[in-house]
Amino acid sequence: MKLLFLAKSKAPTSYNVNGPLINNIDTGLFVEGSQFIGSEETRDAGIYDMFWRDGDQHIVLGQPTKTTDTPWSAREGEWIDATDYDPSQRYIVATNHHALALIESGAAEYWQDPSDGKWTVRMIETEEEPTT
């Protein structure tokens, strides 16, 4: 099973992935040839899409992201194998060229806010050296 994470303002902060069960939703019932029609239950579980490609089940989930406090935007990252899922890992990526430049220069970083679990980009605080 493959997973992809969309940047969403509202999504679970983590997922319980146990075989075909994702946040207690049995995705194993979605067999090849089925058409995914989401429900309130699947949306609440953070499941946005399911489909089959090349014999593998693909599931699209959300990762909570806040982009209102800082000038950045985000998009989905890469597909991962469900067995590699790590609840503490960031899977979405920045798309704003200014934010990307700051991250690449080391002036900013991806950060998960412990108060709401949402991922954002924040400036790295540095201590100024005293002048002598």
Listed in sequence order, the DSSP H helices in the chain are 40-44, 97-105
Q: Are 59 and 49 in contact (CB under 8 A)?
A: yes
pLDDT of residue 67: 81
Q: What is the rounded average pLDDT for all residues in the chain? A: 91
| Residue 128 confidence (pLDDT) above 70 | no
Query: Any bridge partners for residue 6, and if so which?
Result: 62
12-57, pLDDT tens digit by residue? Answer: 999 999 999 999 999 999 999 888 988 999 999 999 999 999 999 9
pLDDT of residue 71: 72
97-110, pLDDT tens digit by residue? Answer: 999 999 999 999 99
Listed in sequence order, the DSSP H helices in 38-106 are 40-44, 97-105
d(C-alpha 14, C-alpha 86), whole Å: 9
> Residue 47 to residues 10, 22, 71: CA-CA distances in angstroms?
12, 8, 27
76-93, pLDDT tens digit by residue? Answer: 999 999 999 999 999 999
pLDDT of residue 121: 93
Residues 6+ apart with CB under 8 A from 96: 71, 72, 73
pLDDT of residue 72: 82
